[in-house]
Structure formats: C-alpha cells, structure tokens
C-alpha cells in the first residue's frame, strides 16, 4: 500500500565515490560506500519515479526498478548526468565527488624510483555548482559532509551552488557519515532554515528527503 507520489517524475541520483586515475593500476578516491544514494534511489523507484542512479564504484546492488549508470571519474559522472538532465525534474547529488584529480593519468604504471614522488592535482569540475547555474525550475538537492563548522559551511553551499536544500552531516558524529546504516543530518534550505533530523536509518531518511522534495515541487506547481 505504498504511496506512488513520484509516479510522473524523473529523478537523477548520484551516489558513491569517484575514482580519479593516477595510472592504469592506481587512483585517488574516498570512503563513500554509496549507501545513502542507493537508499534514495530505492525509495524513489518504490514511490513510482523513473530513476537514473549514476554511481561511482560501490559494492552495492542496483535497487529494483532503478536504471543504474556506472561511472568512475568526476568528469564521467558529469557527462552522464548531462545526458539525462533535460528529462529530469529532480536531481539529488549524494555522490562524494573527488575535489581534485591527477593532472595527468599516465598510460603506463608509474615505476618505483626516487624517495619522493609528487603527483600534481588539478581541481575537478564542481558538478553541483555547474548544475545550479542551469537548474531552472528543477529541484536540486546537495549533500555536505563536514568535520567542522557544519551549519555555517552548509548554509554557504546552499546559496553558492543554487540548491533548494542541502542535507548536512558531521563525519565525526556517532551514527552518521560513511558506511553506517543510519544517519543524523540537518536539512538546510535557501532561507537558512534548519531542520534537525534525529538519528534514523538511511532508508527512512531517504523517504524524508523525498517528502521534502515533493513538498517543494507542489509549492512550485501552485505558484
Ligand atoms: O563542496 P562540497 O564537496 O562539500 O559539496 C558537496 C556537494 O557537492 C555534494 O552534493 C556533492 O555531490 C557535490 N559536488 C559535486 N562536484 C564536486 C564536489 C562536490 O557535485 N566536484
């Protein structure tokens, strides 16, 4: 008896880490497991949405009814998002995108040689920032994981990246962050309103995030 309130919606959800190649055997990445994004994708599909789950490498199975698009680097992720951008009314960016990538991806394995090895990094595109510039009336949701000044940083990101709201969590809070099955977050909107969400499973939180998205969609339709 689940509600099918996302029946006529197309949603892009990004999840997991990105991998930025150093050479054919090595990469730079992070601890993201993709659990939060996969939970949102699963719930959105259950609620009737057409879901594109654009995911970096994870150990998770694609949820039922979800169109999984596997990517590696941030640039791959950006390209695959843009292929489906026009079709989507809602974009939720839970992926932990690497902020920097090696300036060159060597085609041969780098050999062990000197005592020190320097790898030059260059900034990746900020995918969410770029989406914020072209969002129009789409609903755009970001995530922020911080180790300090959570609220302050999240408030700034909502505005800078032109998001409808941001889901912020503190990496050092027990029961929040990477690899856990629960999360404790604050949802911060463009007006700086803060909703403190108590500890809950990532699946419960996924439903709550989708509820907030649908509320904004309906407001948009009325106005
Ligand atoms: O700026 P920060 O990385 O903390 O912002 C996090 C949000 O921005 C997440 O939603 C993440 O998916 C997105 N992001 C992005 N491209 C980047 C870095 C972050 O889309 N290069």
Q: Where are the domains of the chain?
A: 10-104+118-222
Nearest to 34, CA basis, from 95, 81, 93: 95
Q: How confident is the model at residue 87 (pLDDT cuts 50, 70, 90)?
A: very high
Q: Is the pTM of this model over 0.90?
A: yes
Which residues does a 6 A CB cutoff place in the pocket of ligand 1? Answer: 74, 93, 95, 97, 99, 124, 126-128, 142-144, 157
- In this prediction, residues 152-176 reach a mean pLDDT of 91
Q: What is the pLDDT of residues 129-157, one digit of tens each?
A: 999 999 999 999 999 988 889 999 999 99
* pLDDT reported for residue 220: 84
Q: How confident is the model at residue 26 (pLDDT cuts 50, 70, 90)?
A: very high
* pLDDT reported for residue 1: 47
Q: How confident is the model at residue 77 (pLDDT cuts 50, 70, 90)?
A: very high
Are 38 and 15 a contacting pair, CB within 8 Å?
A: yes
Task: Look at residue 14 and give its three-state secondary structure.
Answer: strand
Indicate if ipTM > 0.90: yes
- Strands (DSSP E) contained in the chain are 10-15, 20-23, 26-28, 50-55, 66-70, 90-93, 100-102, 121-123, 139-146, 165-170, 182-189, 194-201
Overall fold of domain 10-104+118-222? Rossmann fold (3.40.50)
Annotated binding site for CTP: 99, 109, 125-128, 143, 157, 161
Q: How far is CA 203 from CA 46, 98, 207, 209, in A?
A: 12, 25, 7, 10
Mutation test residue for ligand 1: of 13, 142, 156, the one with most atoms within 8 Å of CB: 142
């Amino acid at each position: 008896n689940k509600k099918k309130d996302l029946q006529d919606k197309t949603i892009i959800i990004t999840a997991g880490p990105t991998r930025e190649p150093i050479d054919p055997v090595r990469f730079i990445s992070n601890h993201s497991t993709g659990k939060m994004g996969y939970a949102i994708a699963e719930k959105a599909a259950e609620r009737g949405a057409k879901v594109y789950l654009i995911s970096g490498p994870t150990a998770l199975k694609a949820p039922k009814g979800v169109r999984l698009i596997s990517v590696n680097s941030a640039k791959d992720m950006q390209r695959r998002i843009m292929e489906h951008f026009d079709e989507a009314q809602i974009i939720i960016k839970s992926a932990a995108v690497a902020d920097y990538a090696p300036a060159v991806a060597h085609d041969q394995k780098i050999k062990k040689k000197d005592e020190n090895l320097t790898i030059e990094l260059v900034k990746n595109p900020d995918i969410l920032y770029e989406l914020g510039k072209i969002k129009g009336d789409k609903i755009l949701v970001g995530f922020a994981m911080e180790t300090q000044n959570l609220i302050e940083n999240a408030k700034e990101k909502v505005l800078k990246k032109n998001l409808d709201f941001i889901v912020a969590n503190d990496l050092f809070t027990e029961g929040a962050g990477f690899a856990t099955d629960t999360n404790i977050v604050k949802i911060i909107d463009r007006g700086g309103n803060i909703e403190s969400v108590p500890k809950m499973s990532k699946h419960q939180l996924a439903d709550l995030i989708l509820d907030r998205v649908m509320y904004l969609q309906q407001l948009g339709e009325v106005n």
